[in-house]
Chain A
Protein backbone atom coordinates (compact mmCIF):
# COMPACT_ATOMS: atom_id res chain seq x y z
CA UNK A 1 0.00 0.00 0.00
CA UNK A 2 1.59 3.26 -0.96
CA UNK A 3 0.30 6.71 -1.66
CA UNK A 4 1.14 10.32 -1.15
CA UNK A 5 0.31 9.83 2.51
CA UNK A 6 0.46 6.37 3.89
CA UNK A 7 -0.53 5.48 7.44
CA UNK A 8 1.00 2.08 8.08
CA UNK A 9 -0.26 0.01 10.97
CA UNK A 10 -0.24 2.70 13.63
CA UNK A 11 -1.53 2.16 17.16
CA UNK A 12 -1.50 4.39 20.20
CA UNK A 13 -1.67 3.31 23.80
CA UNK A 14 -0.97 5.15 27.01
CA UNK A 15 1.08 3.20 29.52
CA UNK A 16 0.27 -0.48 29.52
CA UNK A 17 -3.47 -0.05 28.96
CA UNK A 18 -5.35 -1.14 25.86
CA UNK A 19 -4.71 0.67 22.62
CA UNK A 20 -7.07 3.54 21.83
CA UNK A 21 -6.89 2.43 18.23
CA UNK A 22 -4.81 -0.26 16.61
CA UNK A 23 -3.42 -1.55 13.33
CA UNK A 24 -4.65 1.44 11.38
CA UNK A 25 -3.80 1.53 7.69
CA UNK A 26 -4.87 4.30 5.36
CA UNK A 27 -3.56 5.62 2.10
CA UNK A 28 -4.30 9.02 0.62
CA UNK A 29 -3.52 10.40 -2.81
CA UNK A 30 -2.53 13.95 -3.59
CA UNK A 31 -5.60 16.18 -3.74
CA UNK A 32 -7.75 13.83 -1.66
CA UNK A 33 -10.20 15.35 0.78
CA UNK A 34 -10.64 12.78 3.52
CA UNK A 35 -13.00 13.13 6.46
CA UNK A 36 -12.83 10.89 9.52
CA UNK A 37 -16.01 10.19 11.42
CA UNK A 38 -16.28 8.30 14.67
CA UNK A 39 -17.56 8.68 18.19
CA UNK A 40 -15.65 10.57 20.85
CA UNK A 41 -12.86 8.48 22.33
CA UNK A 42 -12.08 6.52 19.17
CA UNK A 43 -8.78 8.36 18.82
CA UNK A 44 -9.55 10.57 15.81
CA UNK A 45 -7.71 13.52 17.29
CA UNK A 46 -4.78 11.29 18.22
CA UNK A 47 -4.54 10.08 14.62
CA UNK A 48 -4.52 13.70 13.47
CA UNK A 49 -1.89 14.64 16.04
CA UNK A 50 0.28 11.74 14.87
CA UNK A 51 -0.10 12.93 11.27
CA UNK A 52 0.84 16.43 12.46
CA UNK A 53 3.85 15.06 14.31
CA UNK A 54 2.62 16.43 17.63
CA UNK A 55 2.16 12.89 18.94
CA UNK A 56 4.02 9.70 18.10
CA UNK A 57 2.43 6.30 17.40
CA UNK A 58 3.17 3.43 19.81
CA UNK A 59 3.43 1.13 16.80
CA UNK A 60 3.62 1.64 13.08
CA UNK A 61 4.66 4.63 11.02
CA UNK A 62 3.32 7.38 8.80
CA UNK A 63 4.94 8.04 5.43
CA UNK A 64 4.39 11.39 3.74
CA UNK A 65 5.75 11.90 0.24
CA UNK A 66 8.16 8.99 0.62
CA UNK A 67 9.53 9.93 4.02
CA UNK A 68 8.62 8.67 7.45
CA UNK A 69 7.53 11.55 9.64
CA UNK A 70 9.40 12.10 12.89
CA UNK A 71 7.92 15.33 14.17
CA UNK A 72 5.96 18.42 13.18
CA UNK A 73 6.69 19.91 9.80
CA UNK A 74 5.77 22.95 7.76
CA UNK A 75 4.60 20.49 5.12
CA UNK A 76 1.69 19.55 7.34
CA UNK A 77 -0.40 22.51 8.49
CA UNK A 78 -2.85 22.08 11.33
CA UNK A 79 -6.11 23.93 11.84
CA UNK A 80 -6.90 23.43 15.48
CA UNK A 81 -10.32 22.95 17.01
CA UNK A 82 -9.86 26.04 19.15
CA UNK A 83 -8.61 28.59 16.65
CA UNK A 84 -5.36 28.90 18.71
CA UNK A 85 -4.45 32.29 17.32
CA UNK A 86 -1.81 34.27 19.17
CA UNK A 87 -3.96 36.91 20.93
CA UNK A 88 -1.15 39.48 21.18
CA UNK A 89 -0.75 39.56 17.40
CA UNK A 90 -3.06 41.08 14.83
CA UNK A 91 -4.68 39.08 12.05
CA UNK A 92 -1.82 40.03 9.74
CA UNK A 93 0.68 39.33 12.52
CA UNK A 94 -0.69 35.83 13.05
CA UNK A 95 -0.54 34.91 9.37
CA UNK A 96 2.82 36.66 8.91
CA UNK A 97 4.22 34.65 11.82
CA UNK A 98 3.52 31.46 9.89
CA UNK A 99 4.81 32.92 6.61
CA UNK A 100 8.07 34.07 8.19
CA UNK A 101 8.49 30.62 9.74
CA UNK A 102 8.21 29.10 6.29
CA UNK A 103 10.32 31.68 4.45
CA UNK A 104 13.00 32.70 6.93
CA UNK A 105 14.99 34.83 4.51
CA UNK A 106 12.10 36.93 3.28
CA UNK A 107 11.91 40.62 4.07
CA UNK A 108 9.05 41.97 6.17
CA UNK A 109 7.47 43.46 3.06
CA UNK A 110 7.58 40.13 1.24
CA UNK A 111 6.15 38.31 4.26
CA UNK A 112 3.33 40.81 4.70
CA UNK A 113 2.45 40.77 1.01
CA UNK A 114 2.27 36.98 1.02
CA UNK A 115 0.21 36.96 4.23
CA UNK A 116 -2.13 39.60 2.79
CA UNK A 117 -2.82 37.37 -0.21
CA UNK A 118 -4.15 34.61 2.02
CA UNK A 119 -6.08 37.01 4.26
CA UNK A 120 -7.80 38.24 1.09
CA UNK A 121 -8.45 34.66 0.02
CA UNK A 122 -10.44 33.85 3.18
CA UNK A 123 -12.36 37.12 2.88
CA UNK A 124 -10.84 39.04 5.77
CA UNK A 125 -9.65 42.04 3.76
CA UNK A 126 -9.98 45.10 5.96
CA UNK A 127 -9.55 43.25 9.24
CA UNK A 128 -5.77 42.80 8.96
CA UNK A 129 -5.00 45.02 11.92
CA UNK A 130 -7.63 43.69 14.30
CA UNK A 131 -6.66 41.46 17.17
CA UNK A 132 -8.28 38.05 17.61
CA UNK A 133 -10.31 39.34 20.58
CA UNK A 134 -12.07 41.76 18.22
CA UNK A 135 -13.13 39.01 15.81
CA UNK A 136 -16.15 36.72 15.81
CA UNK A 137 -15.67 32.96 16.11
CA UNK A 138 -16.06 32.49 12.36
CA UNK A 139 -13.54 35.20 11.57
CA UNK A 140 -11.02 33.70 13.99
CA UNK A 141 -11.35 30.34 12.28
CA UNK A 142 -10.85 32.08 8.92
CA UNK A 143 -7.57 33.47 10.22
CA UNK A 144 -6.62 29.95 11.28
CA UNK A 145 -7.39 28.74 7.75
CA UNK A 146 -5.41 31.61 6.19
CA UNK A 147 -2.50 30.82 8.48
CA UNK A 148 -2.54 27.16 7.48
CA UNK A 149 -2.89 27.93 3.77
CA UNK A 150 -0.20 30.60 3.81
CA UNK A 151 2.60 28.12 4.41
CA UNK A 152 1.39 26.19 1.33
CA UNK A 153 1.55 22.80 3.01
CA UNK A 154 1.46 19.43 1.30
CA UNK A 155 -1.45 18.47 3.52
CA UNK A 156 -3.91 20.32 5.71
CA UNK A 157 -4.99 18.68 8.93
CA UNK A 158 -8.24 19.97 10.39
CA UNK A 159 -9.52 18.94 13.79
CA UNK A 160 -13.25 19.69 13.89
CA UNK A 161 -12.54 23.19 12.64
CA UNK A 162 -16.16 24.31 12.52
CA UNK A 163 -17.65 22.56 15.54
CA UNK A 164 -17.64 25.69 17.72
CA UNK A 165 -19.43 27.83 15.13
CA UNK A 166 -23.09 28.55 14.60
CA UNK A 167 -24.80 26.78 11.72
CA UNK A 168 -24.87 29.78 9.39
CA UNK A 169 -21.18 30.63 9.81
CA UNK A 170 -20.29 26.97 9.56
CA UNK A 171 -22.06 26.69 6.22
CA UNK A 172 -20.28 29.72 4.78
CA UNK A 173 -16.90 28.48 5.95
CA UNK A 174 -17.56 25.00 4.56
CA UNK A 175 -18.26 26.60 1.19
CA UNK A 176 -15.02 28.53 1.33
CA UNK A 177 -12.89 25.63 2.47
CA UNK A 178 -14.34 23.52 -0.31
CA UNK A 179 -13.81 26.28 -2.89
CA UNK A 180 -10.20 26.89 -1.81
CA UNK A 181 -9.19 23.27 -1.31
CA UNK A 182 -10.72 21.82 -4.46
CA UNK A 183 -9.54 24.86 -6.43
CA UNK A 184 -5.92 24.39 -5.44
CA UNK A 185 -5.93 20.59 -5.24
CA UNK A 186 -5.06 20.74 -1.57
CA UNK A 187 -4.78 17.40 0.23
CA UNK A 188 -6.92 17.54 3.35
CA UNK A 189 -7.39 15.26 6.33
CA UNK A 190 -10.29 16.42 8.44
CA UNK A 191 -12.01 15.22 11.57
CA UNK A 192 -15.68 15.92 12.01
CA UNK A 193 -18.75 14.89 13.97
CA UNK A 194 -21.06 16.27 11.37
CA UNK A 195 -22.25 13.73 8.80
CA UNK A 196 -23.58 16.37 6.41
CA UNK A 197 -20.31 18.28 6.58
CA UNK A 198 -18.39 15.11 5.70
CA UNK A 199 -20.66 14.34 2.74
CA UNK A 200 -20.44 17.88 1.42
CA UNK A 201 -16.68 18.25 1.77
CA UNK A 202 -15.04 14.84 1.50
CA UNK A 203 -14.16 12.59 -1.40
CA UNK A 204 -13.61 9.75 1.03
CA UNK A 205 -15.21 9.36 4.42
CA UNK A 206 -13.33 7.14 6.83
CA UNK A 207 -15.42 5.43 9.50
CA UNK A 208 -13.85 4.45 12.79
CA UNK A 209 -15.34 2.11 15.39
CA UNK A 210 -15.58 3.00 19.06
CA UNK A 211 -12.51 2.98 21.27
CA UNK A 212 -10.69 1.59 23.07
CA UNK A 213 -9.28 -0.76 20.50
CA UNK A 214 -10.85 1.26 17.70
CA UNK A 215 -10.26 0.12 14.14
CA UNK A 216 -10.81 1.66 10.77
CA UNK A 217 -14.01 -0.07 9.73
CA UNK A 218 -14.56 1.10 6.17
CA UNK A 219 -14.04 3.87 3.70
CA UNK A 220 -17.06 5.42 2.06
CA UNK A 221 -16.29 6.58 -1.44
CA UNK A 222 -18.49 9.64 -1.87
CA UNK A 223 -20.65 9.06 -4.95
CA UNK A 224 -21.86 12.68 -5.18
CA UNK A 225 -20.58 14.75 -8.11
CA UNK A 226 -17.51 16.91 -7.49
CA UNK A 227 -19.33 20.10 -8.42
CA UNK A 228 -21.90 19.68 -5.67
CA UNK A 229 -23.29 22.75 -3.92
CA UNK A 230 -24.25 22.91 -0.27
CA UNK A 231 -27.65 24.42 -1.04
CA UNK A 232 -28.97 21.57 -3.16
CA UNK A 233 -26.80 18.63 -2.15
CA UNK A 234 -29.69 17.09 -0.21
CA UNK A 235 -31.74 16.91 -3.42
CA UNK A 236 -29.24 14.60 -5.05
CA UNK A 237 -30.73 11.08 -5.45
CA UNK A 238 -27.74 9.42 -3.78
CA UNK A 239 -27.50 11.84 -0.84
CA UNK A 240 -29.74 10.03 1.63
CA UNK A 241 -28.24 6.68 0.71
CA UNK A 242 -24.81 7.88 1.75
CA UNK A 243 -26.15 9.70 4.76
CA UNK A 244 -28.16 6.74 6.06
CA UNK A 245 -25.23 4.43 5.52
CA UNK A 246 -23.00 6.62 7.73
CA UNK A 247 -25.65 7.26 10.35
CA UNK A 248 -26.39 3.52 10.54
CA UNK A 249 -22.73 2.92 11.10
CA UNK A 250 -22.53 5.51 13.89
CA UNK A 251 -25.70 4.31 15.61
CA UNK A 252 -25.17 0.55 15.51
CA UNK A 253 -22.17 -0.87 13.71
CA UNK A 254 -19.56 1.42 15.32
CA UNK A 255 -20.39 -0.18 18.67
CA UNK A 256 -20.72 -3.81 17.67
CA UNK A 257 -18.26 -4.04 14.82
CA UNK A 258 -17.40 -7.59 13.91
CA UNK A 259 -13.65 -7.85 13.37
CA UNK A 260 -13.60 -11.46 12.18
CA UNK A 261 -12.62 -11.45 8.56
CA UNK A 262 -11.78 -7.73 8.74
CA UNK A 263 -8.41 -7.06 7.13
CA UNK A 264 -7.07 -3.79 8.54
CA UNK A 265 -4.72 -3.47 5.57
CA UNK A 266 -7.54 -3.80 3.07
CA UNK A 267 -10.40 -1.89 4.55
CA UNK A 268 -13.53 -2.31 2.42
CA UNK A 269 -14.33 0.67 0.24
CA UNK A 270 -18.06 1.23 0.05
CA UNK A 271 -19.72 3.29 -2.66
CA UNK A 272 -23.41 3.66 -1.90
CA UNK A 273 -25.09 3.75 -5.28
CA UNK A 274 -28.72 2.99 -4.59
CA UNK A 275 -30.99 5.96 -4.51
CA UNK A 276 -33.64 6.40 -1.87
CA UNK A 277 -36.98 7.88 -2.63
Chain B
Protein backbone atom coordinates (compact mmCIF):
# COMPACT_ATOMS: atom_id res chain seq x y z
CA UNK B 1 0.00 0.00 0.00
CA UNK B 2 1.44 3.35 -0.99
CA UNK B 3 -0.86 6.05 0.30
CA UNK B 4 0.03 9.69 -0.15
CA UNK B 5 2.37 11.34 2.33
CA UNK B 6 -0.29 13.43 4.15
CA UNK B 7 -2.36 10.29 4.77
CA UNK B 8 0.56 8.31 6.08
CA UNK B 9 1.58 11.23 8.30
CA UNK B 10 -1.98 11.48 9.63
CA UNK B 11 -1.94 7.76 10.36
CA UNK B 12 1.29 8.09 12.36
CA UNK B 13 -0.19 11.06 14.24
CA UNK B 14 -3.24 9.03 15.21
CA UNK B 15 -1.10 6.03 16.23
CA UNK B 16 1.08 8.18 18.48
CA UNK B 17 -2.03 9.68 20.04
CA UNK B 18 -3.53 6.23 20.63
CA UNK B 19 -0.31 4.96 22.22
CA UNK B 20 -0.13 8.01 24.46
CA UNK B 21 -3.74 7.67 25.58
CA UNK B 22 -3.30 3.96 26.22
CA UNK B 23 -0.16 4.53 28.31
CA UNK B 24 -1.97 7.28 30.17
CA UNK B 25 -4.95 5.03 30.80
CA UNK B 26 -2.81 2.16 32.10
CA UNK B 27 -0.76 4.47 34.31
CA UNK B 28 -3.80 6.04 35.99
CA UNK B 29 -6.22 3.12 36.28
CA UNK B 30 -7.04 1.65 39.69
CA UNK B 31 -5.55 -1.65 40.93
CA UNK B 32 -8.72 -2.81 42.72
CA UNK B 33 -9.48 -2.77 46.40
CA UNK B 34 -6.19 -2.65 48.32
CA UNK B 35 -7.46 -3.75 51.74
CA UNK B 36 -10.58 -4.32 53.67
CA UNK B 37 -11.82 -1.29 55.53
CA UNK B 38 -15.10 -0.14 56.93
CA UNK B 39 -17.33 1.52 54.32
CA UNK B 40 -17.46 4.78 56.24
CA UNK B 41 -13.67 4.95 56.52
CA UNK B 42 -13.35 4.09 52.86
CA UNK B 43 -15.70 6.94 51.97
CA UNK B 44 -13.47 9.33 53.90
CA UNK B 45 -10.30 8.06 52.27
CA UNK B 46 -11.55 8.24 48.65
CA UNK B 47 -10.72 5.93 45.77
CA UNK B 48 -6.98 6.74 45.83
CA UNK B 49 -6.54 4.80 49.05
CA UNK B 50 -9.29 2.21 48.67
CA UNK B 51 -8.74 1.13 45.05
CA UNK B 52 -5.14 2.13 44.45
CA UNK B 53 -6.43 4.62 41.87
CA UNK B 54 -4.05 7.41 40.84
CA UNK B 55 -5.05 10.95 41.80
CA UNK B 56 -4.26 11.90 38.22
CA UNK B 57 -7.40 11.66 36.10
CA UNK B 58 -7.33 9.17 33.28
CA UNK B 59 -8.05 9.93 29.62
CA UNK B 60 -11.66 8.82 29.98
CA UNK B 61 -12.27 11.29 32.82
CA UNK B 62 -10.68 14.10 30.86
CA UNK B 63 -12.54 13.12 27.71
CA UNK B 64 -15.86 13.13 29.55
CA UNK B 65 -15.08 16.51 31.11
CA UNK B 66 -13.99 17.93 27.79
CA UNK B 67 -17.22 16.75 26.18
CA UNK B 68 -19.15 18.36 29.03
CA UNK B 69 -17.39 21.69 28.38
CA UNK B 70 -17.82 21.45 24.64
CA UNK B 71 -21.55 20.77 25.02
CA UNK B 72 -22.08 23.70 27.29
CA UNK B 73 -19.25 26.19 26.94
CA UNK B 74 -21.11 29.38 27.81
CA UNK B 75 -22.91 28.75 31.11
CA UNK B 76 -22.52 31.34 33.84
CA UNK B 77 -23.15 30.30 37.46
CA UNK B 78 -21.56 33.30 39.12
CA UNK B 79 -18.01 34.63 39.32
CA UNK B 80 -16.32 31.30 40.18
CA UNK B 81 -18.18 29.04 37.80
CA UNK B 82 -18.29 30.14 34.22
CA UNK B 83 -18.14 27.99 31.11
CA UNK B 84 -14.75 27.52 29.44
CA UNK B 85 -16.06 29.27 26.32
CA UNK B 86 -16.73 32.44 28.30
CA UNK B 87 -13.27 32.30 29.89
CA UNK B 88 -11.59 31.84 26.52
CA UNK B 89 -13.64 34.69 25.09
CA UNK B 90 -12.39 36.97 27.88
CA UNK B 91 -8.78 35.98 27.20
CA UNK B 92 -9.08 36.33 23.44
CA UNK B 93 -10.74 39.70 23.92
CA UNK B 94 -7.88 40.98 26.10
CA UNK B 95 -5.30 39.67 23.67
CA UNK B 96 -7.09 41.29 20.73
CA UNK B 97 -7.20 44.71 22.41
CA UNK B 98 -3.67 44.70 23.85
CA UNK B 99 -2.10 43.09 20.83
CA UNK B 100 -4.11 45.16 18.35
CA UNK B 101 -3.02 48.38 20.03
CA UNK B 102 0.57 47.13 20.12
CA UNK B 103 0.56 46.47 16.35
CA UNK B 104 -0.95 49.93 15.72
CA UNK B 105 1.86 51.50 17.75
CA UNK B 106 4.74 49.22 16.77
CA UNK B 107 4.34 49.34 12.98
CA UNK B 108 4.61 53.16 12.64
CA UNK B 109 7.50 53.32 15.13
CA UNK B 110 9.22 50.44 13.36
CA UNK B 111 8.72 52.30 10.07
CA UNK B 112 10.34 55.39 11.53
CA UNK B 113 13.28 53.38 12.89
CA UNK B 114 13.70 51.56 9.60
CA UNK B 115 13.64 54.72 7.49
CA UNK B 116 15.77 56.93 9.70
CA UNK B 117 19.26 55.81 10.68
CA UNK B 118 19.21 58.60 13.29
CA UNK B 119 16.09 57.28 15.02
CA UNK B 120 17.45 53.75 14.68
CA UNK B 121 20.54 54.66 16.68
CA UNK B 122 18.66 56.93 19.10
CA UNK B 123 15.95 54.42 20.02
CA UNK B 124 18.13 51.33 19.99
CA UNK B 125 19.19 51.54 23.69
CA UNK B 126 15.55 51.80 24.81
CA UNK B 127 14.50 48.82 22.75
CA UNK B 128 17.48 46.75 23.89
CA UNK B 129 16.67 47.43 27.56
CA UNK B 130 12.89 47.16 27.34
CA UNK B 131 12.77 44.08 25.12
CA UNK B 132 14.21 41.50 27.56
CA UNK B 133 11.98 42.58 30.47
CA UNK B 134 9.45 39.88 31.27
CA UNK B 135 6.11 41.50 30.55
CA UNK B 136 4.81 40.24 33.92
CA UNK B 137 7.39 42.42 35.67
CA UNK B 138 5.27 45.38 34.55
CA UNK B 139 2.23 43.99 36.34
CA UNK B 140 2.67 45.64 39.78
CA UNK B 141 3.44 48.96 38.14
CA UNK B 142 0.40 48.58 35.89
CA UNK B 143 -1.86 47.63 38.79
CA UNK B 144 -0.62 50.58 40.81
CA UNK B 145 -1.03 53.17 38.06
CA UNK B 146 -4.04 51.83 36.16
CA UNK B 147 -5.86 50.53 39.27
CA UNK B 148 -7.84 48.05 37.21
CA UNK B 149 -6.85 44.40 36.99
CA UNK B 150 -8.38 43.74 33.59
CA UNK B 151 -6.81 46.82 32.02
CA UNK B 152 -3.49 45.89 33.61
CA UNK B 153 -3.62 42.50 31.91
CA UNK B 154 -4.30 44.25 28.61
CA UNK B 155 -1.37 46.58 29.25
CA UNK B 156 0.94 43.62 29.87
CA UNK B 157 -0.19 42.06 26.58
CA UNK B 158 0.42 45.40 24.86
CA UNK B 159 3.98 45.60 26.19
CA UNK B 160 4.93 42.05 25.29
CA UNK B 161 3.49 42.34 21.75
CA UNK B 162 5.34 45.54 20.89
CA UNK B 163 8.88 44.32 20.40
CA UNK B 164 8.78 41.57 17.77
CA UNK B 165 6.51 43.65 15.54
CA UNK B 166 8.57 46.81 16.01
CA UNK B 167 11.91 45.10 15.40
CA UNK B 168 10.67 43.15 12.37
CA UNK B 169 9.05 46.24 10.88
CA UNK B 170 12.21 48.30 11.21
CA UNK B 171 14.26 45.46 9.76
CA UNK B 172 11.87 44.94 6.86
CA UNK B 173 11.75 48.65 6.08
CA UNK B 174 15.52 49.05 6.26
CA UNK B 175 16.06 46.04 4.01
CA UNK B 176 13.85 47.17 1.11
CA UNK B 177 15.86 46.60 -2.04
CA UNK B 178 17.74 49.63 -3.30
CA UNK B 179 16.60 48.92 -6.86
CA UNK B 180 12.93 49.26 -5.92
CA UNK B 181 13.66 52.55 -4.16
CA UNK B 182 15.56 53.65 -7.26
CA UNK B 183 12.51 52.85 -9.38
CA UNK B 184 10.50 55.20 -7.15
CA UNK B 185 13.21 57.85 -7.36
CA UNK B 186 13.43 57.81 -11.15
CA UNK B 187 9.63 58.07 -11.30
CA UNK B 188 9.73 61.10 -8.97
CA UNK B 189 7.47 59.37 -6.46
CA UNK B 190 6.96 61.47 -3.33
CA UNK B 191 7.93 60.33 0.17
CA UNK B 192 4.39 59.53 1.23
CA UNK B 193 3.47 57.59 -1.88
CA UNK B 194 6.81 55.80 -1.76
CA UNK B 195 6.17 54.69 1.83
CA UNK B 196 2.79 53.20 0.93
CA UNK B 197 3.41 51.86 -2.58
CA UNK B 198 7.01 50.62 -2.35
CA UNK B 199 8.22 50.26 1.22
CA UNK B 200 5.05 48.92 2.82
CA UNK B 201 4.37 46.15 0.27
CA UNK B 202 8.07 45.26 0.11
CA UNK B 203 8.37 45.02 3.90
CA UNK B 204 4.91 43.50 4.46
CA UNK B 205 6.06 39.85 4.67
CA UNK B 206 8.72 40.73 7.27
CA UNK B 207 6.26 42.92 9.18
CA UNK B 208 3.69 40.13 9.21
CA UNK B 209 6.27 37.67 10.51
CA UNK B 210 6.82 40.01 13.45
CA UNK B 211 3.08 40.39 13.92
CA UNK B 212 2.74 36.62 14.00
CA UNK B 213 5.52 36.22 16.59
CA UNK B 214 3.88 38.96 18.67
CA UNK B 215 0.57 37.11 18.49
CA UNK B 216 2.16 33.91 19.76
CA UNK B 217 3.84 35.70 22.65
CA UNK B 218 0.64 37.55 23.57
CA UNK B 219 -1.23 34.26 23.86
CA UNK B 220 1.58 32.80 26.01
CA UNK B 221 1.57 35.78 28.33
CA UNK B 222 -2.20 36.18 28.77
CA UNK B 223 -2.44 32.89 30.71
CA UNK B 224 0.21 33.96 33.20
CA UNK B 225 -1.22 37.48 33.44
CA UNK B 226 -4.71 36.19 34.20
CA UNK B 227 -3.37 33.84 36.86
CA UNK B 228 -2.04 36.95 38.57
CA UNK B 229 -4.97 39.33 38.14
CA UNK B 230 -7.77 36.76 38.49
CA UNK B 231 -11.44 37.35 37.91
CA UNK B 232 -11.98 36.02 34.40
CA UNK B 233 -10.10 34.43 31.56
CA UNK B 234 -8.63 31.03 30.77
CA UNK B 235 -5.54 31.71 32.92
CA UNK B 236 -7.76 32.43 35.90
CA UNK B 237 -9.77 29.31 35.08
CA UNK B 238 -6.64 27.14 35.28
CA UNK B 239 -5.61 28.62 38.62
CA UNK B 240 -9.13 28.43 40.00
CA UNK B 241 -9.42 24.76 39.08
CA UNK B 242 -6.03 24.10 40.68
CA UNK B 243 -7.38 25.64 43.87
CA UNK B 244 -10.41 23.37 43.47
CA UNK B 245 -7.98 20.45 43.05
CA UNK B 246 -9.78 19.60 39.80
CA UNK B 247 -6.88 18.28 37.78
CA UNK B 248 -9.34 17.13 35.13
CA UNK B 249 -10.43 20.69 34.47
CA UNK B 250 -6.81 21.88 34.47
CA UNK B 251 -5.97 19.37 31.75
CA UNK B 252 -9.05 20.35 29.76
CA UNK B 253 -7.98 24.01 30.03
CA UNK B 254 -4.44 23.18 28.86
CA UNK B 255 -5.85 21.45 25.78
CA UNK B 256 -8.15 24.43 25.14
CA UNK B 257 -5.26 26.91 25.45
CA UNK B 258 -3.27 24.92 22.92
CA UNK B 259 -6.18 24.70 20.49
CA UNK B 260 -6.96 28.42 20.63
CA UNK B 261 -3.28 29.30 20.23
CA UNK B 262 -3.11 27.08 17.17
CA UNK B 263 -6.16 28.73 15.62
CA UNK B 264 -4.76 32.23 16.27
CA UNK B 265 -1.48 31.26 14.63
CA UNK B 266 -3.26 29.71 11.65
CA UNK B 267 -5.19 32.94 11.09
CA UNK B 268 -2.00 35.02 11.25
CA UNK B 269 -0.21 32.57 8.96
CA UNK B 270 -3.04 32.97 6.44
CA UNK B 271 -2.74 36.76 6.64
CA UNK B 272 1.03 36.53 6.16
CA UNK B 273 0.50 34.46 3.06
CA UNK B 274 -1.80 37.13 1.65
CA UNK B 275 0.93 39.79 1.70
CA UNK B 276 3.78 37.53 0.62
CA UNK B 277 4.88 37.84 -2.99
CA UNK B 278 6.93 35.32 -4.95
CA UNK B 279 10.18 36.53 -6.44
The yes or no answer to A276 lying at the interface (CB within 8 A) is no
**Selected interface stretch from B22-30, B156-164, B196-204:** B196-204
Q: Does the CB pair A133–B187 fall under 8 Å? A: no
In the assembled complex, the CB of A32 is this many whole angstroms from the nearest CB of chain B, namely: 20
Given A82-B179, A88-B202: A131 touches B278 (CB 8 Å cut-off): yes
Q: Which of B182, B188, B189, B277 contacts A54 (CB 8 A)?
A: B182
Q: Does the CB pair B278–A101 fall under 8 Å? A: no
Select the residue from A74, A101, A102 with max chain B CB neighbours within 10 A.
A101
In the assembled complex, the CB of B125 is this many whole angstroms from the nearest CB of chain A, namely: 30
* Measured CA separation A219–B217 after assembly (Å): 65
The yes or no answer to B40 lying at the interface (CB within 8 A) is no
**A89-132 contacts to B (CB < 8 Å):** 97-98, 101-102, 131-132
* Measured CA separation A151–B189 after assembly (Å): 13
Q: Does the CB pair B182–A80 fall under 8 Å? A: yes
Given A131-B278, A133-B277: A86 touches B180 (CB 8 Å cut-off): yes
Residues of A within 8 A of B278 (CB): 87, 131, 133
* Measured CA separation A179–B96 after assembly (Å): 59
* Measured CA separation A102–B186 after assembly (Å): 11
Q: Does the CB pair A97–B197 fall under 8 Å? A: yes
Residues of B within 8 A of A76 (CB): 186
B276 nearest in chain A by CB position: A88
Given A88-B201, A97-B197, A133-B278: A80 touches B185 (CB 8 Å cut-off): no
- Majority secondary structure, B binding face: helix
In the assembled complex, the CB of B253 is this many whole angstroms from the nearest CB of chain A, namely: 42
Q: Does the CB pair B279–A87 fall under 8 Å? A: yes
The yes or no answer to A53 lying at the interface (CB within 8 A) is yes
Select the residue from B183, B197, B202 with max chain A CB neighbours within 10 A.
B183
In the assembled complex, the CB of B34 is this many whole angstroms from the nearest CB of chain A, namely: 70
Q: How large is the interface on B (under 10, 10 to 19, 20 to 34, 35 or more residues)?
A: 10 to 19
Q: Which of A52, A82, A101 contacts B189 (CB 8 A)?
A: A101
* Measured CA separation A98–B183 after assembly (Å): 9
Q: Does the CB pair A84–B182 fall under 8 Å? A: yes
Given A87-B277, A87-B279: A101 touches B198 (CB 8 Å cut-off): no
* Measured CA separation A72–B183 after assembly (Å): 10
Q: Does the CB pair A73–B279 fall under 8 Å? A: no
Chain A count of residues within 8 A CB distance of the other chain: 24
Q: Does the CB pair A53–B186 fall under 8 Å? A: yes
**B173-222 contacts to A (CB < 8 Å):** 177, 179-180, 182-183, 185-189, 197-198, 201-202, 204
The yes or no answer to A207 lying at the interface (CB within 8 A) is no
Q: Does the CB pair B279–A54 fall under 8 Å? A: no
Q: Does the CB pair B186–A77 fall under 8 Å? A: yes
Residues of A within 8 A of B277 (CB): 87-88, 131, 133
A83 nearest in chain B by CB position: B179
Q: Does the CB pair A101–B179 fall under 8 Å? A: no
* Measured CA separation A77–B177 after assembly (Å): 19
Residues of B within 8 A of A54 (CB): 182, 185-186
Q: Does the CB pair A72–B180 fall under 8 Å? A: no
The yes or no answer to A78 lying at the interface (CB within 8 A) is yes
* Measured CA separation A52–B183 after assembly (Å): 11
Q: Does the CB pair B183–A84 fall under 8 Å? A: yes
Residues of A within 8 A of B188 (CB): 72-74, 101
Residues of B within 8 A of A73 (CB): 186, 188
Residues of A within 8 A of B189 (CB): 101
In the assembled complex, the CB of A71 is this many whole angstroms from the nearest CB of chain B, namely: 8
In the assembled complex, the CB of B18 is this many whole angstroms from the nearest CB of chain A, namely: 43
Residues of A within 8 A of B187 (CB): 72, 74, 97-98, 101-102, 151
In the assembled complex, the CB of B249 is this many whole angstroms from the nearest CB of chain A, namely: 48
Given A87-B278, A88-B202, A88-B277: A72 touches B185 (CB 8 Å cut-off): yes
Given A80-B179, A133-B277, A133-B279: A86 touches B186 (CB 8 Å cut-off): no
Residues of B within 8 A of A98 (CB): 187
* Measured CA separation A97–B179 after assembly (Å): 15
* Measured CA separation A74–B183 after assembly (Å): 11
Q: Which of B179, B197, B204 contacts A84 (CB 8 A)?
A: B179
In the assembled complex, the CB of B186 is this many whole angstroms from the nearest CB of chain A, namely: 5
Known: A80-B183, A88-B277. 7 other contacts (CB 8 A): A73-B186, A74-B186, A82-B179, A86-B183, A102-B187, A133-B277, A133-B278
Q: Name B residues whose Cβ lies closer than 8 Å to a Cβ of A.
A: 177, 179-180, 182-183, 185-189, 197-198, 201-202, 204, 277-279
CB-CB nearest 7 A-B residue pairs: A84-B179, A133-B278, A101-B187, A88-B277, A72-B185, A72-B186, A88-B201
7 contacts between A and B (CB under 8 A): A71-B185, A72-B186, A72-B187, A88-B204, A102-B187, A131-B278, A133-B277
